[in-house]
Amino acid sequence: MFNFDFYNPTRVLFGVDRIADIDKFIPKQARVLITYGGGSAKKYGTLDEVHAALGDRATFEFGGIEVNPHFDTLMKAVDVVKDNKIDFLLAVGGGSVVDGTKFIAAAALYAGDIWPLWSQRQPLKEAIPLGCVMTLPATGSETNHVAVVTHTALGQKSGYSDPLLFPQFAVLDPTKTYTLPATQVANGVVDAFIHVIEQYLTYPVYGKVQDRFAEGLLLTLIEEGPKALTDPQNYDVRSAITWSATLALNGLIAVGVPQDWATHRMGHQLTALYGIDHAQTLAILLPGLLQVQRESKKQKLLQYAERVWNIHAGSDDSRIDAAIAKTREFFELMGLKTQLSAYGQPKSAIDEILGNLQRFNMLPMGERSDIDLERAKQILMLSY
């Protein structure tokens, strides 16, 4: 196991009616900008609860943050922050709203165009403090320092991380997920599942604790994900999924072990170029990536087959094939298509995606940095 530092300062407020408790963790004199996405936060009363909890604090709102938040939209929010001397940000929504709010927190105190810093992953000197109220379990952004933003004019979707972007607190009330459309629930489960895979399905370094945590999360998502679609107001099911999504990317299972993230980096191109939902891009790409990388991932793929899918019989190759097939079946059971062609894209999209990977210097990738242009093409061909 590698040397590591582990740091996570985010306070988790889990359970029913926890929004009221945010009053304890925001300064009384704060000028607060509430950020959110579409109209559901208003429609279902979540924003009213937030305003009630904030009491007499000066509050402002900025809505309309997109799924895969856009640079141009977020820069409008930065203007609101500057014009109203905002000194605390409160994200209400899913991972995209939280990611966008992290960008706002960074950009509002940065002089000049922040995109070069963001896309080149340079460190921040300061950021506005933020908290979040989650309504969609998926990305884990509520308890980490990572954010992904799309610059539509450049066709670039870029991830960024900085310790200053950890939320100070995260409210996780599973009942707030009851009204989500089935598609968003399914996307969230698959997103969380592949977050775990990116940190687990690499190569062994005797990270036994991390492996067992990861396998427990994968099994939980496999067991509970389909139930969330058929029994949408089951608190126990939603609690398990909400907490799994948070633990999938709060840094705990990543410490001391190699990480992949090639599926995400390639998937970001599908979103930036074609607007395909983030989780859908991951479901498209992961089975093909596992096939192409089956030799370098062999030991962990066999472990995954045995411990997660209960596959014990047959040759090494047959067990790996079965595990990959089971993975694809799970995504399709959750309602996600697993081929790029199913989203109406022509085969020429492969060259366009490869062009983006080269243009933004994203190759090589993978835990061994062995996914070059040729391997990326093989993955995309299998994913088409």
Any domain includes 122: yes
Please, what is the average pLDDT of the chain? 97
Together in a domain, 371 and 277: yes
Together in a domain, 27 and 154: yes
Together in a domain, 46 and 146: yes
pLDDT more than 70, % of the chain? 100
Together in a domain, 235 and 377: yes
| Burial of 24 (C-beta count, 10 Å sphere; 0-12/13-18/19+) | exposed
Pairing of strands 146-151, 156-161: antiparallel
In the chain, the number of structural domains is 2
Q: What is the mean pLDDT of residues 267-280?
A: 96
pLDDT band at 39 (very low <50, low <70, confident <90, very high): confident
Together in a domain, 20 and 135: yes
Any domain includes 206: yes
Together in a domain, 145 and 233: no
CATH number for the domain spanning 15: value is 3.40.50.1970
Residues 6 or more apart whose Cβ sits within 8 Å of residue 242: 14, 134, 137, 172, 174, 177
Any domain includes 5: no
Please say which residue of 176, 201, 223 terminates a domain. 176
Please say which residue of 176, 191, 219 terminates a domain. 176
Write out pLDDT tens, residues 280-289: 999 999 999 9
Parent domain of 191: 182-383
Write out pLDDT tens, residues 200-251: 999 999 999 999 999 999 999 999 999 999 999 999 999 999 999 999 999 9
pLDDT more than 90, % of the chain? 99
CATH number for the domain spanning 266: value is 1.20.1090.10
Please state whether the predicted TM-score (pTM) of the whole model is above 0.85: yes
Q: What is the mean pLDDT of residues 9-32?
A: 98
Together in a domain, 312 and 233: yes
pLDDT band at 262 (very low <50, low <70, confident <90, very high): very high
Any domain includes 6: no
pLDDT reported for residue 336: 98
Any domain includes 54: yes
Please say which residue of 176, 200, 229 terminates a domain. 176
- CA angle 344/345/346 to nearest 5° reads 120
Together in a domain, 349 and 302: yes
Together in a domain, 254 and 319: yes
Any domain includes 131: yes
